[in-house]
Amino acid sequence: MKVFDAKHIKNIALLGSHGSGKTSLVETMLFEAGLISRRGRVEDKNTVSDHTEIEHERGNSVHSTCVHTEWRNFKINILDTPGLDDLVGETIPALRVADTCVLLLNAHHGVEVGTDLVWGHMQRYDRPVILAVNQLDHPNSDFEGTVAQAREHFGPAVTLMQYPVEQGEGFHRIIDLLKMQMYVFKDDGGKPEKHPIPVEEKERADALHKELVEKAAENDEALMERYFEQGELSEDEMRQGLKVGMMQRSVFPVFCLSALRNMGSGRLMGFIDNVAPSAIEMPAAPLEDGGELPCRVDGPTVLFTFKTILEPRTGWISLFKVMSGELKPGMELVNDSTGASERIGQLFILDGKERKPVEALQAGDIGATLKLRDTATAHTLHRPGPKVQLRPIAFPEPRLRVTVKAADSKLEEKLHHALLEIHKEDPTVVLSYIRESSEQVLGVQGELHLNLVKWQLDHRYKLDAVFGSPKIPYRETIRRSAEASYRHKKQTGGAGQFGEVHLRIEPYQEGMPDPEGVSVRKKEEYELETGGKLVFYNCIVGGVIDNKFMPSILKGVMEKMERGPLTGSAARDIRVMIYDGKMHPVDSNDISFKIAGMMAFKEAFTKADPQLMEPIQEIDIRVPEDLMGDVMTDLQGRRSVIMGIETQGRSQVIKAHTPLAELDRYSTTLRSLTQGMGTYTEKFHSYAPVPADIQQRLISSHDEEAVHA
C-alpha cells in the first residue's frame, strides 16, 4: 500500500449526536474514493465502520472505528465515534489524536443534546472544527434554523462555506461560497455538475461570499491588507486565511450534506485535503515533564497508543499515532510507561475489521500493530534513548458504581480476568476492590455503559454476573472522652490467660496538645488505611504492665477500630491512653492483653458519645438553565448543601456537597430530570456526621444483621 508523506495525511474525528449520520457519511466517503464498490447501510448491518456483533444487534455505533480514504493524492484517516455520552471512552481518544474535528449536525433536529455533550469534550482539546449539516434531504430539514442554533451554541466562529438552494425531499443543489459555483446532483448523488450561480441566488451568494472573504482575511495581517487594497482575495488566499482561522478556532466552516444520498461528501473531502491542517502543521504535543514534542518526519520515532482492541483469534491490537519520525516493522521501541522494550512486528492500517499491511508510517499517520506485550492505551513508545512521555489521556471518572460478582463463585477468577480485559479496551470501565467491605466494584459512565459490559460478559466470556449497590464506607468516631477497663482471665487446667487494661480515649484533632493528667512515656501516631488517625500513648508507670505487652494492646485496639462497635465500619481520629492495668507472672501473654485492650476500647467507645460519619461528595452538575428547578428540588431531597451556581456558556453549573449514600444511580435520575441534557462529575470531599435518625437506623440494621448472621 502507498506510503503517504506527512503533508498529505489528514486525521479527522467524525463526531455528532446519535443518529446524525456519521457511519453513513463514512460509507459515502469510502465509496466516492473508490475504496468500496457498494455503500453499506446501518440497517443492513454491512457498513465498514459498524462491524461488530453488538453494533449489528443494537443498530448504532458502540466503538470508535478507524478507517481511511484517499482523495486527490491525500490520505484522510477517519475516526468514526459513537454519539452516546455513555461511550465517551471511545470518543476522547479519537479527539486526542485527531487534527480536525468534523461535527455532524442533523438538519431536522438541529443542535441536539448529544451535540452539546460532544462539544463539551471537544472544547477541552482545542482542535479545528468543521461543521457539516447532514440529512438536508429530510422532509423536515431546516438549514437556516440549524445554523442559527449552531451560532447560539458555538459562537460567531460558525461560518458558512455553502448553503442549499432547496432542502427537503427535493434537495439536490448547493451553492459553494468559496468557489462561487453551484453544484447540481443527480437523484442518486455522486459527482455533481458545476453550474454558475443562478440569477435569483446571486445577491445572497455575493453577500455571503463577502462575509467569507472578510472572515478569511481577518486571521492574517497580510491578507487583510491585500483585501483592503483589492477588495477581494483569490481562492488560494482564502484557503490560507481559513486554515489560520480554523487553527485559531475563529472559523468553524459549515458544509451541506446528504450522506445517505451521496451529496456533498466529495467537496467536504476536498476541503479537508486543501485546508484542514495536517499533524505537522499543528502545535507540538505536550509532554508529561512540561516540554513539547513537535511532529516532524526527521524527528525521533515516537508513537502514542490511543486504543486497544482484543480480537478473539488474533489477540491484542494496538492502535497508535506516529507523533514523530518514521516507523517501520522490526523497530525496537521503549515503553516509557512500563519500562518494557517492544518490537514492532507487522505494521498495518485498519479499515473497520480489515487490516492492510504497510511498509512504513510517517509522522502524523495512524496505524496499528499486533501483540505488544506490555503496552496499553495512552502509552508512549520511542526509540531507545532519552525519556519521552506524552501527556496521558484524561478519562472521566465513573458516574455509576455497582458491585459485581460471579453467579457461580467458582468462576470468580475468570470474571475478574474478563473485567480486566474489558478495562484494557475501555479505560472508562474501572475495576476496584474495596477491602473493608470485601466487594469488587465496577465503575462505568451510566446504565447504557453498564448494559454493554453485561453484554460482553454474557456473549464474549459466557459469564453470568450479579450486580448490586456498593456498601457505603461509613466511619465511626467519638465526640467526648471516656474511660474503661477490662480484665481478661481464663483458666483451663494448665497455663491460663490473664491481662487487665485500663485506658482512656478522646477525640483526636490535628495539632492538639498531649493529654493532661497522665505521664506520657511513649507516643505513636498511625495514619490509618481507611483514613484518619490513631494516636496511641503508653502512660504506664510502676511497671504494672510490661512494655513487651504494649504492642499486643495496640493490636487489639486497631483490630476493633477496623470494625467499629456501632456498625462494623472503620473507626478514625481517636487517641488512646493506656494508664493502668495488671499482669500475672505466669498467665499473662500477648493474646490476653490483645483481648483486654480490644474489649476495654470497645467499652470506652460506647461511652464516648459515638458518632457515625458518612462520605460527602463534591458534585458539579451541568444543566440547561430552564431545568435547574427540578434538579435543585431533587438535590434538596438528597440532603445536599448547595455551594454555588456558575454560568458556563449556555448552561448552569450547580456545585453541591451531597452524601454518597444519596447518589446511588444518580446519573440515571439526572438524565431523566433533564431529558438527557444534564451531566455531572463527582469526587470525594470529606466525612461529615450522619444525622441522628439515620445513625440510629443504621445501627439497628447492623444489630439485626448480627443477630441473624
pLDDT at 493: 67
Q: What's residue 221's pLDDT?
A: 85
In this predicted model, what pLDDT tens digit does every residue of 118-150 receive, in sequence order? Answer: 998 898 899 999 999 999 999 999 999 999 999
**Average pLDDT of 553-582?**
95
Which of 443-447, 509-513, 672-676 comes out lowest in average pLDDT? Answer: 672-676
- Angle between helix 628-636 and helix 666-673 axes, rounded to 10 deg: 150
Instruction: Give per-residue pLDDT as tens, 606-620.
Output: 999 999 999 999 999
Q: How confident is the model at residue 538 (pLDDT cuts 50, 70, 90)?
A: very high
Residue 548, pLDDT above cutoff 80:
yes
Task: Return d(Cα 233, Cα 216) in angstroms, integer.
Answer: 9
pLDDT digits (tens, 9 = 90+) for 695-707: 999 999 988 887 7
Compute the average pLDDT of residues 504-513. Answer: 94
pLDDT in the model for residue 677: 81
Residue type at position 385? G
Beta strands, E only, 215-278: 252-256
**Residue range 552-569: mean pLDDT, rounded:** 95
> Is the per-residue pLDDT at 511 higher than 70?
yes
- Assigned C-alpha cell, 333: 521501541
Burial 558-588 (b: 16+ CB within 10 A, else e): bebbeebbbbbbbbbbbbbbbbbbebeeebb
pLDDT of residue 381 exceeding 80: yes
What's the mean pLDDT when you consider all of the chain? 93
Contact 619, 645 (CB under 8 A): no
Return the pLDDT at 1: 66
| pLDDT computed for residue 602 by the predictor | 97
Q: What are phi and psi of 216, to 5 degrees?
A: -70, -40
State pLDDT tens for residues 403-429. 999 999 999 999 999 999 999 999 999
Question: pLDDT tens, 189-220?
Answer: 999 999 999 999 999 999 999 999 999 999 88
Neighbours of 281 (CB within 10 A): 15
For cell 451560532, name the residue.
151
Tens digit of each residue's pLDDT (9 = 90 or more) over 16-39: 998 899 999 999 999 999 999 899
- Predicted pLDDT of residue 709: 60
Counting other chains too, the contacts that 84-87 makes at CB distance below 8 Å and 24 or more residues apart are: 84/18, 84/60, 84/114, 84/448, 85/114, 85/117, 85/118, 85/445, 85/446, 85/676, 85/679, 86/444, 86/445, 86/446, 86/447, 86/448, 86/449, 86/452, 87/61, 87/62, 87/445, 87/448, 87/449, 87/452
pLDDT per residue over 291-347, tens digit each? 999 999 999 999 999 999 998 888 999 999 999 999 999 999 999 889 899 999 999
Domains present along the chain, CATH in parentheses: 6-281 (3.40.50.300), 285-382 (2.40.30.10), 400-468 (3.30.70.870), 476-608 (3.30.230.10), 612-694 (3.30.70.240)
- Residue 169 clears pLDDT 70, i.e. is over it: yes
Count of all residues that appear for the chain in the document: 709
Long-range CB pairs of 546-552 (<8 Å, 24+ gap) are 546/583, 546/588, 549/499, 549/583, 549/588, 549/590, 549/593, 550/522, 550/578, 551/590, 552/590, 552/591, 552/592, 552/593, 552/594, 552/597
Higher pLDDT, 585 or 322: 322
Contact 379, 305 (CB under 8 A): yes
Distances (CA, A) of 435 to 461, 471, 473, 531: 26, 11, 10, 13
Is the pLDDT at 227 greater than 90? The verdict is: no
With bands split at pLDDT 50, 70 and 90, how would you rate the model's confidence at 434? confident
